Structure 1
């Protein structure tokens, strides 16, 4: 018979293990010496020790679910309770009991975290709903539409709440988007109707202009063309796909007439060259308004220059694009300055930009805290994953801060 502190083998080859409840039969060994029998079942015990140690580390250092951890503990407990190993089985039971306590504690902690995350998600979704309902009344069609699409992406990234709450918030969110979409469709439908009306009106103006192009009644016809030009400006813009072609035909008809008049009255060439000199002086005077430092003064000065410009008359045809382009460049600069001034003075747009920046800053700060906790817990994989997410949020924050600077703060 052979024995060690935790087990023995009797003369019949039966292997026993010693426990707090007395000796338990481990198994029967007939294939070799008692020492070999004990060594075999001691190795099985060492295997259990290794498995329990691995499970302890998984529970402490990974996000192993409570359900999976409990199943693994149960499987190991069955092996320990089966007494098919020689060693301190009672110590293994104690370790498994402590592991159960740890898993239960982790389960409760996760419940608390989940409740906190749910509350945070509810608050975030309520903010999204509130912003969507505000945007639903906006007439900044493009900006509001893009922001609503961004809110949808943000919503998709948030965890679900309980079904009743989530459905109610989503209904309000979806209703706000639908309301904005209906208003936008109605607006552009009205705009399309106006542009179609403008197209029909300009078609008639083009027909009148083309009918007059062969006239040799210089004075009255030139006056009629001025009236047509006023009517053209008052008609508004047609659809983009028609506007340029209609303008080309309208302007082309006038060019035919005025070119014929120029050919008949050669002396007008001199007048047009003189007009070019005057317009070059006016263009140079207008260009001195750049860069825009005093918008109101620049606008008033340009208006006065433009009135003088309109009173000058025609210039040689080949010089017209260049000289008109110079005045148009100044006009565009003033318009851009007006738009920039409007954007800077728009409190609603600034508030939205500041709100977005604040949300992104909070998200960045939160991710940094999570990364520090993950590093402290030794969970480098989770920390690296969070750092990748942080990089994306930081880029969005940088863009938002840059946009906010355009509002002067």
Structure 2
């Protein structure tokens, strides 16, 4: 007969384990000594200890689900309750009870976390829907379209809500995108229709211009060409792939006619030389408008000069590229000034610049307060570190303020 604090073996080879409720039969051992019997069942007990320890670690350090953890606990508890081991079974039961409490606590934590994540996801999706509905009314087709695509990517990255809420929000979100797409499609369809009308109108003008190019009725034909040019400008732009070809044909037909007229009226060279002088004087006046300081005045002045230019008539053929090039250079300068003015007064760009400046100002003010607090607390190392960060933020702020000045304040 052999025994230890947690078990014993009687003379028949029956092994017992001691519990608070009394001795329980563990099993029977006939193959060796009682000491070997106790050692065998103690090893089985240590196996349960190790198994519980591993489960405790998994519960604390992994994302083991509460359901799986509970199943594992019940499996081990069943082995403990069957008492086929020798050791402190009450200690094992206590550890399992504590583990159950831990799993329940983790279950509640995860439940609360999921509820929080659901609230955050709902708020995020509601914000996406609100922005999408605002963008649906925009006429900034490219930027709004790109932003809506970005919102879709953001939506896909958010967790799903309950089916009813998610479907309702998605319906609003999808409806806003569809409304924008419908408006954009209608806009470009109308634009395409206008360009197609312009193409047909310009094809008719080209056909007439080419029909007139061999005319010798110089005065009437030249007048008609001027009318055709006015009609051309009023027709608007055709599709890009047609515009240049139509213009080249239209201008080519005029060139054929005016070249022939110039050949026939060679005696008018003197008049054309005078025209050249007059146009060079106009080019001199036009060049004084550059650099553009008063866009409105420059535009009006150039329009007047251009009307006088058109009224002057032709210049010698070999001199035309140079003198026209001077006027075109001034016209391009005014157009560039118009584009710069548009960019400067662009409310979207101004808003972005103002927003960035405000964020940087807040960041600089926050850093200054943190530095003062660190100095007051005697933490000079932290204050010095924050001061270096402040230098960088201040440099960005100075740059942003300078950029904002370009928008007029």
TM-score by length of 1: 0.76
Moved >6 Å (runs of 4+): 404-409
Q: Counterpart of 1:43?
A: 43
Name the CA shift for 1:37/1:247 in 2 (closer, same or farther; >3 Å). farther
Q: Counterpart of 1:233?
A: 233
Partners in 1 of 2:32 and 2:279 — Cα distance? 119
C-alpha contact (below 8 Å) 1:275/1:313 kept by paired residues: no
Confirm whether residue 56 of structure 1 aligns to residue 59 of structure 2: no
1:249-264 equivalent positions in 2, closer than 5 A: 249-264=249-264
Q: Counterpart of 1:338?
A: 341
Partners in 2 of 1:189 and 1:183 — Cα distance? 10
1:87-146 residue CA offsets vs partner (Å, 9 max, x unmatched): 212111111111111111111122222222222222222222222222222222222222
C-alpha contact (below 8 Å) 2:73/2:100 kept by paired residues: yes
Q: Counterpart of 2:121?
A: 121
C-alpha contact (below 8 Å) 2:16/2:24 kept by paired residues: yes
Q: Secondary structure at the match of 2:137?
A: coil
Q: Counterpart of 1:350?
A: 351
C-alpha contact (below 8 Å) 2:283/2:323 kept by paired residues: no
Name the CA shift for 1:351/1:83 in 2 (closer, same or farther; >3 Å). same
C-alpha contact (below 8 Å) 1:15/1:29 kept by paired residues: yes
Partners in 2 of 1:231 and 1:353 — Cα distance? 45
Please say which of residues 157-166 and 280-289 is displaced more in the overlay: 280-289
Please say which of residues 13-22 and 263-272 is displaced more in the overlay: 263-272
Deviation at 1:332, TM superposition (A): 3.7
Q: Counterpart of 2:177?
A: 177
C-alpha contact (below 8 Å) 1:279/1:323 kept by paired residues: no
1:259-408 equivalent positions in 2, closer than 5 A: 259-265=259-265, 267=269, 270=273, 274=277, 277-278=280-281, 281=284, 284-289=287-292, 295-296=295-296, 299-300=299-300, 303=303, 306-307=306-307, 310=310, 316=319, 318-319=321-322, 323=326, 326-343=329-346, 345-346=347-348, 350=351
Q: CA RMSD in A?
A: 3.5
Deviation at 1:278, TM superposition (A): 4.5
C-alpha contact (below 8 Å) 1:279/1:312 kept by paired residues: no
Confirm whether residue 156 of structure 1 aligns to residue 156 of structure 2: yes
Deviation at 1:275, TM superposition (A): 6.6
Q: Counterpart of 1:211?
A: 211
Confirm whether residue 78 of structure 1 aligns to residue 81 of structure 2: no
Partners in 2 of 1:93 and 1:298 — Cα distance? 94
Name the CA shift for 1:54/1:238 in 2 (closer, same or farther; >3 Å). same
C-alpha contact (below 8 Å) 2:280/2:323 kept by paired residues: no
Q: Counterpart of 1:92?
A: 92
Please say which of residues 97-106 and 267-276 is displaced more in the overlay: 267-276
C-alpha contact (below 8 Å) 2:295/2:338 kept by paired residues: no
C-alpha contact (below 8 Å) 2:17/2:26 kept by paired residues: yes
Q: Counterpart of 2:168?
A: 168
Q: Secondary structure at the match of 1:25?
A: strand
Deviation at 1:324, TM superposition (A): 6.0
Deviation at 1:327, TM superposition (A): 3.4
Partners in 1 of 2:78 and 2:145 — Cα distance? 61
Greater gyration radius: 2
Name the CA shift for 1:259/1:51 in 2 (closer, same or farther; >3 Å). farther
Q: Secondary structure at the match of 2:288?
A: helix
Name the CA shift for 1:99/1:294 in 2 (closer, same or farther; >3 Å). farther
Please say which of residues 40-49 and 227-236 is displaced more in the overlay: 40-49
C-alpha contact (below 8 Å) 2:195/2:239 kept by paired residues: yes
User: How many residues are matched?
Assistant: 361
Deviation at 1:236, TM superposition (A): 1.0
Q: Counterpart of 1:132?
A: 132
